[in-house]
Amino acid sequence: MKGDADMTPAQTHGLGNRDLLDQYLAAGFAGRVGWGERVALLVIDMAGAWTSQDEMIGTDLGGVLDSIRRLLDVVRERDDVPVVFTTMAYDETYSDLPLASRLKTPHLERMVRGSERVRLVPELDRRPHEALIEKPRASAFFNTNLPSILVAQRIDTVVVVGCSTSGCIRSTCESALDHGFRAIVPAEAVGDRSASAHEAALFDINARYADVLPIEEVVDHIRRRPRAAATVTTDG
């Protein structure tokens, strides 16, 4: 067994950690997924429970919201980039909330369907044709119809924004990769109640699951990308 003098010192885990990134690159991590042919915008959990500082798990996400609204403005100028919103909501009897989840994350008991806590913040100005999904777990893909929505429109790339970086954003990016989708994360358009968890999650997301990019680059790409051909639908 090696002595203490032979042990590699622990590295600070942050998005800007050059040494750790070099180690990941040498191990084959942090490849680029890039942009595909068809893009969708996923807006994760920008509802009262997460965005109000008066809530148990809420925090100030004003800057994140501004960045998301900027992306929405660009996307809504087009007709080929669908928008999907998510929230988390359960029956007031907890009949759809397993005991293990209640024990581990008891705040979920407050996420009652129809309450202000689970409603999207009005600043997002969700449009009638923009889907809203109630997800039972952290990932927007788990036990929801999101994969079907994306496949039906031949989407191959998802831009993931919202909160929280260390929870639902990371989990959604992991599931996107598992389902074969490219995922892009604009760094300024995701947030977390913990700065250190935010930075660590962004580092791992960028290394393992998605491309973390500056929002300027994402906005510019969406604005300039060629318009995708309309999907063909037929009535049965």
Flag whether 14 is in a domain.
Answer: no
Catalytic pick from 168, 169, 189, 219? Answer: 168
Flag whether 135 is in a domain.
Answer: yes
168 catalytic? Reply is yes
pLDDT per residue as tens digits for the range 126-137:
999 999 999 999
Confidence of residue 2 (pLDDT cuts 50, 70, 90): very low
The CATH number of the domain where 122 resides is what?
A: 3.40.50.850
User: What letters, b where the CB count within 10 A reaches 16 and e where it falls short, cover 196-214?
Assistant: eebbbbbbbbbbebbbbbe
Flag whether 86 is in a domain.
Answer: yes
Flag whether 196 is in a domain.
Answer: yes
Flag whether 11 is in a domain.
Answer: no
Residue of higher predicted confidence among 9 and 119: 119
Q: Is the pLDDT of residue 232 over 80?
A: no
Number of domains in the chain: 1
Pull the structure tokens for residue 166: 């260390």
Task: Count Cβ atoms below 10 Å from residue 63 Cβ, excluding itself.
Answer: 11
pLDDT per residue as tens digits for the range 105-116:
999 999 999 999
CB 168 within 8 A of CB 64: no
Q: What percent of the chain has pLDDT over 90?
A: 82
Confidence of residue 22 (pLDDT cuts 50, 70, 90): confident
Claim: this prediction has a pTM higher than 0.85:
yes
Q: Is the pLDDT of residue 9 over 70?
A: no
Flag whether 103 is in a domain.
Answer: yes
pLDDT per residue as tens digits for the range 50-97:
999 999 889 999 999 999 999 999 999 999 999 999 999 999 999 999
Flag whether 178 is in a domain.
Answer: yes
Flag whether 173 is in a domain.
Answer: yes
Residues with Cβ within 8 Å of 42's Cβ and at least 6 positions away in sequence, in order, are 84, 86, 140, 146, 158, 159, 160, 161, 162, 172
Provide the domain limits for residue 76.
31-224
